[in-house]
Every structure is written in C-alpha cells, then in structure tokens.
Amino acid sequence: MIADLPSRPGGEGRELLRTAGLTKHFKLGGLFSSRYLHAVDSIDLAIGENEIVALVGESGSGKSTIARLIAMVYKPTSGEIFHRGRPLSTLRSRRDVLEYRGRVPMVFQDPYGSLSPVYHVSHGILRALKLHRPDLSKRGREQEAEYLFESVGLAPAREFLAKYPYELSGGQRQRIGFAQALACRPELILADEPVSMLDVSVRIGVLNLMSSLRRRERISFLYITHDIAGARYVADRLIVLYAGKIAESGPVEDVLAHPKHPYTQLLLSAVPDPRAPVSLPPTPEVQEPPRVINPTEGCRFRTRCPYAIDECARVTPPLRVLRPEHEAACHVATSDLEGAEELAHDQLN
Amino acid sequence: MIASPAQTVLEVEDLCVDYLTERGAVRAVDGVSLDVGRGEFLGIVGESGCGKSTLLFAIARLLSPPAQISSGRVRFEGRDMVSMNEKELRRLRWREYSVVMQSAMNALNPVLTIGAQLKDVIDAHERLSSRDVRQRSEGVLKLVGIDPEHLRSYPHQLSGGMRQRAMIAMALVFTPDLVIMDEPTSALDVVAQRSLMVQIKQLQRKIGFAAIFVTHDMSLVSHFSDRLAVMYAGQVVELGATRDVFAEPKHPYTVGLMRSFPSIRGPLQPLTGIPGAPPDLAHPPAGCRFNPRCTEVMPRCRVEEPELYAVNVKGTYDQVRCFLFDPRAAREGPE
Amino acid sequence: MGVNLVADQTRAVAPPESPRANVLSNFAGALLRNRKAMAGGALLLFFALVALLAPVIAPYPPQAILFDQILPPSPQHLLGTTGNGQDIFSQLLWGTRESLAIALVAGFVATVVSVLVGVTAAYLGGLSDHVLDLFTDVFLVIPTLPLMIVIAAYAKNGGVLVLIVVIVITGWSYGARQLRAQALSLRNREFLEAARVRGERNLYIILAEILPNMTSLIVANFLGAALYAVLAAAGLQFIGLGDPNDLSWGTMLYWAENNGALLAGSPQWAIAPGLCIALLGGAFALLNYAFDEISNPALRPVKRKR
C-alpha cells in the first residue's frame, strides 16, 4: 500500500472510537448562575482503524472540546464515548485509564508551550515510556526514545535528545510532540491543530509525517483544524463543525465537491486559493460563529444563512444522509434532495 | 512597475535594522529597498523571523530599543523620515500615514467606548469641534461597514472582526496617503478574514490610499495586492507584480512557498514544503542565506551573496535575489 | 514498532550549531554581570563567612563578663564593652550566627508554606481554591506587628524557635498570593495538559512540572521572606520578646537600649548591630531586585509566534 500521494485506503477495519450524543456544557458566571455555554451538543462520530478523520471548524465550534473529551481531560456533561466498544465511563482503575491514554494520546497545537522549558526535550518521551512501557529498562527507554526521534525525522537522534526546547524550531518541536504520542504505541492520535502555529513551509512536512504514520504504522488520526485545504490533503473523511454541532460529514472529496450545508459552502468560498479565480461572496453583517449560551431550538447557522426558511428557526435540523456516506444537518438541503427524489420518482413513472 | 518619483508615496532605500543584544548586533533587516506608488497595494510576505514586522516598524518609525535603524533611508513623499524628530513625526503620523497592528483587537482600550477612542485619535492630531468629531467618526465607521450606533459600544461588545474593522476605521480617520498593516487578519477566522480583505480592498479603491500589507500567508494577498515582496532572513528575495510572482515564481524560496499550499480544488498533489528552518540571524550562513535549504543550490551560492537581479517579465521588471538569474552568469555561460 | 520511517522526504534538518549555552550558565552569566547581584551576594557571603569563622576571629568569648563596663573603643576592644563588661565586637561577630540563621530558616519555612498553599490552591481549583484563598486572605489582612507582638508575648522568652514560628505565621501569606497567581497562569500551558494526557499523577505534575517552572519566583519569594525575617526578628528581639539571653544583633540592641547606650556614651553598642541588620537586610533586598531584573526579560527564551 505504498503510494506517493497521501492516499486513501479508506476506513477499513474495525471501529476504534465512537461517540454517542456527546455533549459538554460549561457553566458561566458564579455559583448561582444559570448560564451554560454549549460547547458541543449531541455529537455522534466514529473513527475506524487506519483512517484519518478531519474535524474542521472555526473558533468556538467545539472542535478542541471534542478532542479533550476524547482525551479524558474533560468529563462529558452527557453522552458517551466508546473505545473499541467499551464506554470510557467504565474506566475506573488507574491501569485502565493509563492504558487508554496510551492508546489514544494527543498532540497539541502550540509548539512553544507544549514542551516544558526547564527540561530536555526528551523528558516527555522518557516519562511517557516510563508510564506506558514498564517492560523497558532505563537503557531500553533511552534507546526507544532515540528510535522514536528518528522515526519522526529528527536525526541524529542523540544530538536532539539533550537539547532544550528553545534550541529547536517550531516544526522540530511539533515532531517531538508526535514522538511523545508514538511512545505509547497508539491506535489513534488526537491531533489538535498541530500545524496552525507553524510556518507555512514547515506545515507540509508535519502533514506528510501524519500521512506516513497512518500508512506505515496503521495509526488513525483525528485531525482537528480550521484549515480545510490541509484537511483535504491528509484526511479520508471530513466532519464540519459549527457552533458545537456537526453540520456535515462524509468522504473528504465528496464533501468538497458537493457541499450540502450552507456553512460548508461558505467556508469553501472563503478559503484563499491563489490558483482559483477571485470571487467576492456577499458580506452579511454577522461574520463570525456565535457563542452558544442557553440556546433555543432551531439551526444555529440560520442568522448567517442565505437560504434560511421558517423551519430553520423552529426545528433543529438532524443529520440526514444525502449522498452515499455523506450527511448534513440542513432542512433546505434535505428538502432539495427530497424534491429531487420526488422528481426522479415522478419521471420514472 | 516602478512608480515615477512624483507618484511615489514611500521610498525605502537600503534599510538596515539591527537589534543590539548582549552578544552583539543582530541584523534583522538587511539592505531592503522598495517603493510604493500612490494608491498601490504592496504585499510583504514571509515566515517568522524574516524581518517583515521589523521592517514595518522601521518604516513607521515605531522601533524602540534595542532595535534601531542603523543605515538606509525611508522617504515619505520625498521627506526623509529617519532623520526626523518626534515632533515632526507626530505631524505626519495618522494624517499622512497610519498603522494597523496585528491583533489590533487587543490594542483597543477595553474601558473606553469606540466613540471615545476615535475622539482621542482625532483630538491628538487636529482641533475639531465636537460636532465635527462626531460627524467624522460616524463617517469613518460607516465606511468600514459598522453601524454608527456602535460609537457607544465597548470593544468587548463587538465581535473580533468588527473590532478589527474599528481599528481600520481609526487608521483611516484622516484619510492618509499610506496605511501600513501588520497581519491585521491573523486573529480572525477564515470567513471573517476574507470579508475583511475584501473590505480593505474596496476602501482602498474608494479612498485611494496606498497600502503595505505584511502577512505570512501568501494566498491571502494573492487577489488583493498589486505587487508582492517576498522576504527571507531579513532580505527581499523576490519583488514583482503579484500576478507574475504567482504565475511564475522565480526565487527557489518563493517556488518552495508556493508548493506549500495544499489546494481544495484541482487534483490532489503530493507536496514537499521546504525542509529545514530559517537561519539564526545572529549567525547567518555564508553566501546566499537560503543555500542550506535550496534545491537549486550551486557551489557559488555557498560563498557569495547574490544581489537583486532585474528579470524582464512582459515589459516590466521583477527583482530576484538569486544567482540563477544573474545576467552576467548567463552571458558567461556555466562555470 | 515496525518499519523504520526514516525515508521520509521531508525530514527535519539537524539542529543548528547553536552554542551549547544552557539555562544555568546563562543565568550564572547574568548574575555576574548584574551589579546589584554582585553587591548583595558579596554582602551575604561576607556575613556567612563571619558567622562561620566567628569562633576564630572573635578575640574574646562573647558572653564572658571579664572587663570593665562601658569602655570606649580601643585596640583591645574595637567596639568597646557593654554595660555588663562584655566585648561588643565579639558579641557582634557571634551574634551574626543567630541573626543569619533566623533569616535563612524563617525565610525558607515561610517560602515552603507559601508554595504549598499557593500552588495547591491554583492546581486544585474550585472549592479547594476558594477555601485556601480565604485562608490566605485572613492571614494577609491581619496586621502583622500586633500579631507578632501578641504571639511573642504569649510565648514569653521563647527564644529562637518562637521567633521563627511567629515570622512564618505572619510572613507566608503574601508570597502565597503571588505563587498562586503564577501557578494559575502556568496551569493552562499545554505542557501541563500534555503531562496529564500522558497519564501523570497530580502530585507528580505539581512537583515535577509546575514547581520547576516557578523556581525564579520561588527564589525571589525566599529572598523577600528572608529580608522580612531579618527585620522582624530584630524588631521583636529589640522590644524584648525574644530570649534576652540569646546572642544576636537584635538582643544586642535590646541590651543597648536597656542600658541607655546612646546616652551613656557608648553609641557604637547600638549602632554596630543596627548597621549589621541594615546591611544583611540590604543584601537580601539587593539580591531580590537583581533576581527580578534577571528573571524577567533575559532568561526566558524569547520566541514570537509568527
């Protein structure tokens, strides 16, 4: 399965992780306040073996919250996360939790903040190995750390191991973040905007690293980003998030070619692409996603949507399958489809 | 597209900016020359550490120690800015040229209303009656697409995009000839970014100011700038009409940069980016500063430093700092 | 792990040939270049040496009542004698031990308490944070001088231990606030999240990840606490709340005052210990300033985001 392109073998194999109705609310204000920020609401997603799923959204969409829920940094307000069929809420003992953390580690966004400035850069890896690979001796750990550094492209590893974070560039530090995640022999890596804070010319290297890890080590990724173009480059499937809910999800090429949700369409039109001809979309007053506090029923995108109808203000649109494996949560898109189906049905008869 | 002197708003000539550290002077901007014509939109593109922000600060005369301009000239409408004192600069500032900073959202005073801050800006540079102040404030807000009733709003009541536009409004309140912008959209989401860029371009066409726009994201300026300057390690490595630079990038760094943008349209292509990292400006490599990372490197590149060579492109000149385009080498043939 | 992934076209290039300057030598260099640090450090070193070598340098046993009373300064008695006929110079030298010890020990213990309360409050957050904050605030608000006097008066002539306890009780809360603030700001740094996500225990995170990043503030706190201890101890001993039979600069002041030294023609009996107190306090203050100067801009590696 060796190819030059970050190819798409597809989501074959078993399901690694699934969320059901995952919800997280944060309380705003003091002890007696009743205002809740709805960071994510009723998220159902699944990630299989050997698959890169991109979670795309702007700030406030809830994508980082989802990552932290899966990484067990936050506890869900409601809903459940299943790892290979086992609910995370049943993980009680330290050993179980540790094992999960080893299987599903996280890579962070900020290369300048994700490594402790007072230790060598190998500190995190050596600690991770100590916690997750108790079979290794001290010497074994050091050797494994060297091997991990080399496998993320930091060679000669011995020189890098003794460096301090400030001696390395952002791209190098991010690679160390991946090496730390690899130390635990993971199945699924949660990558929270791993390249957003890197220079453009360095990003591709890290994205290629993700692709090659998936291809050769069969590690799945949940790639969280606001950059659709980067998501297209590495991912098999795309999930578009808006204001804490899934707007659209499906195979990446299909979603890009046939975006069903108006928000996806807006996002795609806003992506600057030097090779594309310029198009000036209309500029409504509201340009940013809302902070969702104690929301009412109805589609959260309706205030910015050029197609909004009455139903959008009354009923929260559920995710419906509109094309093979491709769903969107939009009343208008659904009724379009139903209308077309009726038409086709009529024409057949 | 070299503007004639009468139409040149800004002329930077061989500007050098040093940071005086304990270990000696570090040259952040090394011999940069460029000019901006009236009403022209110049984009300056580069990654972290290339010196673009320092260059901007130097042009706006906003550098503070340990940074200083060590040589070169900055001429604004013919007047030498480097030799001016604070008093003379203040007369120029905001009326003739203004600055919009990165993350301008944090530059707004959180305890003053937008109207109060606009009033402060106006009062600082001109004596107007309060009615005139109000009229001008309302006018400039409308210009950037903000409802004038927000004069009474506090910054936290506005969204990020609106705050950014408020900063731009402040920069335009005296309709200056030149607006200098340092990554004004970087803190915004992609949709807001797009609409702000469109707005800036519309404003520019309407009012006619020249603009210098510094960013790390090439694709952002691709549709909006007339000319593009690419910076690397403190130097300008390519300078030309935006169309030409995008259609046919010449400097290997520019080529590499262009290859670093995955596209959402068209076929999926493997990309390589540019391996390595920008040099430490305290210890730049010998010869061409890009040579350790260059795919076209020649022996000469490791020893000599290239100058900016003019390359003829459809009747105008682009400038490229690369031996591949050295006209003498072309004449002499391969070594 | 399976196949080696080295054959990746976009491998990172080896690290640049940066000088192997590590954090410690940078810091040492900055120390040496800072005048306040040098001055404060020299003073502190001086007093430390005096304390260590007192038995060797002092001409006479300090408490021995061997001589005539209130003798003026002379070659045999560099600072004259006390109202009891003891050599003042010897007393001064020996007294350095206790004064320095109190400063260091009380400063240290107060800092430890500050760190425990402040960092724990920041790390645990929520209700625990509120409770610990309340606790800190109570101690912060209580007027220190009356509190010191009340406690010391109750433990009459309690000696060095009581002094240290009193100083710690009154001195820890200020530092706890500062440390809590810094720990809070650290709490959101991603390397702490990274530690949690890789499965570290809470205690480990506090001790091995948070504290090492707070060393400069902790040391600065210690210096401030030591300064406070010097002055507080001297003050308490001067008004007689320490054990007058102890030998320290503060008790010297007490005896000098009791015997009306200034009027009785032996002003150096009061001035000498007073000067030493001021100098030792000054040493800590200078080091504290120097530390602030050094740790704020220069040490932390400056990297901009874009």
Contact at CB, A147 and C215, closer than 8 angstroms: no
> Is residue A115 less than 8 Å (CB to CB) from chain C?
yes
Q: pLDDT at residue C19 above 80? A: no
How many residues in total does chain C contain?
306
pLDDT-derived band at B105 (thresholds 50, 70, 90) equals low
Work out the minimum CA distance from A21 to partner chain C, whole angstroms.
23
Strands (E), A113-271: 188-192, 220-225, 237-242, 245-251
Q: Which residues in chain A are closer than 8 Å to C190, comparing Cβ atoms? A: 108-110, 113-114
Residue in B189, B191, B257 nearest the CB of A200: B257
Q: Which residues in chain B are closer than 8 Å to C11, comparing Cβ atoms? A: 275
Kind plus residue range of the DSSP H or E element containing B230? strand B227-232
By the 10 Å C-beta count (0-12 exposed, 13-18 middle, 19+ buried), B303 is classed as exposed
Which B residues, 149 through 168, put their C-beta within 8 Å of a C-beta on chain C? none
> Is residue A150 less than 8 Å (CB to CB) from chain C?
yes
pLDDT tens, residue by residue, C162-179: 888 888 988 899 889 989
Range of B39's domain?
A: 5-96+178-183+208-332
Work out the minimum CA distance from B221 to partner chain A, whole angstroms.
9
Of the candidate ranges B175-179, C80-84, C215-219, the one whose mean pLDDT is the lowest = C80-84
Domain boundary among B175, B196, B220: B175
What torsion, rounded to 10 degrees, do the Cα atoms A60, A64, A66, A70 define? -170
Helices A170-182 and A123-132, packing angle to 10 deg: 10
> Is residue A20 less than 8 Å (CB to CB) from chain C?
no
pLDDT-derived band at B240 (thresholds 50, 70, 90) equals very high
Which B residues, 253 through 292, put their C-beta within 8 Å of a C-beta on chain A? 256-266, 268-275, 277-278
pLDDT tens, residue by residue, A28-40: 876 677 888 889 9
Is B278 found in the same domain as B225? yes
Contact at CB, A172 and B48, closer than 8 angstroms: no
pLDDT of residue A281: 52
Q: Establish if B283 belongs to a structural domain.
A: yes
Q: pLDDT at residue C262 above 80? A: no
Work out the minimum CA distance from A279 to partner chain C, whole angstroms.
28
pLDDT tens, residue by residue, B50-84: 889 899 989 888 888 788 888 898 988 888 888 88
Average pLDDT value for chain B:
86
Neighbours of chain B (3+ CB pairs under 8 A): A, C
Count the domains in chain B: 2
How wide is the angle at C-alpha C263 spanned by C-alphas C258 and C264, nearest 5°?
80
ipTM, 2 dp:
0.82
pTM value is 0.82
Residue in B22, B186, B272 nearest the CB of C306: B186
CA distance A199 to B277: 9
pLDDT tens, residue by residue, B148-173: 888 998 888 888 788 888 888 888 88
Contacting residues for A68 by C-beta, under 8 A, at least 6 apart: A74
Instruction: Name which of A56, A175, A199 to mutate to probe chain B: the one with the most chain B Cβ atoms within 10 A of its Cβ.
Output: A199
Mean pLDDT of A102-129: 90
Residue in A59, A200, A267 nearest the CB of B47: A200
CA distance B263 to B246: 14
Chain A / chain B CB contacts < 8 angstroms: 128
Q: pLDDT at residue A301 above 80? A: yes
How many residues in total does chain A contain?
349
pLDDT of residue B8: 87
CA distance A23 to A244: 9
pLDDT of residue B144: 85
Which residue from A214, A213, A236, A240 is spatially nearest to A225, judged by alpha carbons? Answer: A240
pLDDT-derived band at A222 (thresholds 50, 70, 90) equals very high
Work out the minimum CA distance from A296 to partner chain C, whole angstroms.
29
> Is residue B84 less than 8 Å (CB to CB) from chain A?
no
Helix (H, G, I), strand (E, B) or coil at C4: coil
Kind plus residue range of the DSSP H or E element containing C90? helix C88-124
Is B87 found in the same domain as B219? yes
Which A residues, 311 through 340, put their C-beta within 8 Å of a C-beta on chain C? none
Q: Which residues in chain C are closer than 8 Å to A212, comparing Cβ atoms? A: 5, 8
Q: Which residues in chain B are closer than 8 Å to A169, comparing Cβ atoms? A: 277-278
pLDDT-derived band at B273 (thresholds 50, 70, 90) equals confident
Check which CATH number belongs to the domain holding B85 and give it.
3.40.50.300
CA distance B204 to B128: 25
Q: Establish if B310 belongs to a structural domain.
A: yes
Q: pLDDT at residue C14 above 80? A: no
What is the token pair recorded at B239? 């300078």
Q: Which residues in chain C are closer than 8 Å to B293, comparing Cβ atoms? A: 13
pLDDT-derived band at C109 (thresholds 50, 70, 90) equals very high
Which residue from A206, A219, A230 is spatially nearest to A152, judged by alpha carbons? Answer: A206
Is B244 found in the same domain as B114? no
Which residue from B177, B150, B186 is spatially nearest to B78, judged by alpha carbons? Answer: B177
Of the candidate ranges B7-16, B258-267, C118-127, C258-267, the one whose mean pLDDT is the lowest = C258-267
pLDDT-derived band at B267 (thresholds 50, 70, 90) equals confident
Q: pLDDT at residue C1 above 60? A: no
Q: Establish if B202 belongs to a structural domain.
A: no
CB B72 within 8 A of CB B63: no
Work out the minimum CA distance from C113 to partner chain A, whole angstroms.
23
Neighbours of chain A (3+ CB pairs under 8 A): B, C
Q: Which residue of C has its CA nearest to B50?
A: C306
Residue in A59, A276, A280 nearest the CB of B189: A59
CB C273 within 8 A of CB C251: no
Which residue from B204, B214, B148, B150 is spatially nearest to B172, judged by alpha carbons? Answer: B204
CA distance C91 to C247: 7
pLDDT-derived band at C134 (thresholds 50, 70, 90) equals very high
pLDDT of residue C303: 37
Of the candidate ranges A9-18, C192-201, C287-296, the one whose mean pLDDT is the lowest = A9-18
Is B223 found in the same domain as B128? no
Is B131 found in the same domain as B159? yes
Helices B130-143 and B114-125, packing angle to 10 deg: 120
Residue in A169, A256, A278 nearest the CB of B277: A169
What is the token pair recorded at B10? 């800004």
| Residue of higher predicted confidence among B334 and B11 | B11
Is B299 found in the same domain as B258? yes
Work out the minimum CA distance from C304 to partner chain B, whole angstroms.
8
Residue in A205, A228, A287 nearest the CB of B195: A287
pLDDT tens, residue by residue, C24-69: 666 677 777 778 888 999 999 999 999 999 888 888 888 878 777 7
Tell me the β-bridge partners of B232: B235
Q: Establish if B285 belongs to a structural domain.
A: yes
Helix (H), strand (E), coil (C) string for B160-218: HHHHHHHHHHHHHCCCCCEEEEECCCCCCCHHHHHHHHHHHHHHHHHHCCEEEEEECCH
Is B92 found in the same domain as B106? no
Is B277 found in the same domain as B139? no
pLDDT of residue C107: 94
Neighbours of A8 (CB within 10 A): 17
pLDDT of residue A276: 60
Q: Establish if B111 belongs to a structural domain.
A: yes
What string of DSSP letters covers A231-275?
HHHH-SEEEEEETTEEEEEEEHHHHHHS--SHHHHHHHHHS--TT
Residue in A73, A109, A208 nearest the CB of C197: A73
Is B270 found in the same domain as B212? yes
Work out the minimum CA distance from A244 to partner chain B, whole angstroms.
16
Q: pLDDT at residue B274 above 80? A: yes
Contact at CB, B272 and C9, closer than 8 angstroms: yes
What is the token pair recorded at C262? 């200034």
Residue in B22, B186, B275 nearest the CB of C10: B275
pLDDT of residue C11: 42
Q: Which residues in chain C are closer than 8 Å to B291, comparing Cβ atoms? A: none
Is B307 found in the same domain as B234? yes
Average pLDDT value for chain C:
81
Residue in C2, C23, C194 nearest the CB of A114: C194
CA distance B304 to B177: 39
Inter-CA distances, A160 with A128, A164, A166, A348, C23, Å: 17, 9, 12, 68, 16
Instruction: Name which of A70, A73, A167, A197 to mutate to probe chain C: the one with the most chain C Cβ atoms within 10 A of its Cβ.
Output: A167
Work out the minimum CA distance from B315 to partner chain A, whole angstroms.
23
Q: Which residues in chain C are closer than 8 Å to B279, comparing Cβ atoms? A: 16
What torsion, rounded to 10 degrees, do the Cα atoms A282, A288, A294, A297 define? 30
How wide is the angle at C-alpha B263 spanned by C-alphas B260 and B268, nearest 5°?
95
Neighbours of B105 (CB within 10 A): 21
Which residue from B160, B161, B179 is spatially nearest to B59, judged by alpha carbons? Answer: B179
Q: Which residue of C has its CA nearest to B275?
A: C10
> Is residue A211 less than 8 Å (CB to CB) from chain C?
no
Which residue from A43, A50, A39, A51 is spatially nearest to A81, judged by alpha carbons? Answer: A43
Q: Round to the nearest angstrom and report the end-to-end CA distance of chain A.
A: 46
CB B18 within 8 A of CB B68: yes
CB C213 within 8 A of CB A116: yes
CB C276 within 8 A of CB C126: no
Is B142 found in the same domain as B87? no
Which residue from A84, A83, A59 is spatially nearest to A69, judged by alpha carbons? Answer: A83
Q: Round to the nearest angstrom and report the end-to-end CA distance of chain B.
A: 33
Superfamily of domain covering C79-295: MetI-like (1.10.3720.10)
Contact at CB, A200 and B159, closer than 8 angstroms: no
A1-105+186-296 CATH fold: Rossmann fold (3.40.50)
Which residue from C22, C28, C23 is spatially nearest to C290, judged by alpha carbons? Answer: C28
Mean pLDDT of C96-101: 92
Residue in A98, A113, A166 nearest the CB of C190: A113
Q: Which residues in chain A are closer than 8 Å to C191, comparing Cβ atoms? A: 113-116, 124
Is B40 found in the same domain as B151? no
CA distance C80 to C264: 12
CA distance A20 to A18: 7
What is the token pair recorded at C169? 């009780």
Instruction: Name which of C3, C27, C190, C206 to mutate to probe chain A: the one with the most chain A Cβ atoms within 10 A of its Cβ.
Output: C190
Q: pLDDT at residue B17 above 90? A: yes
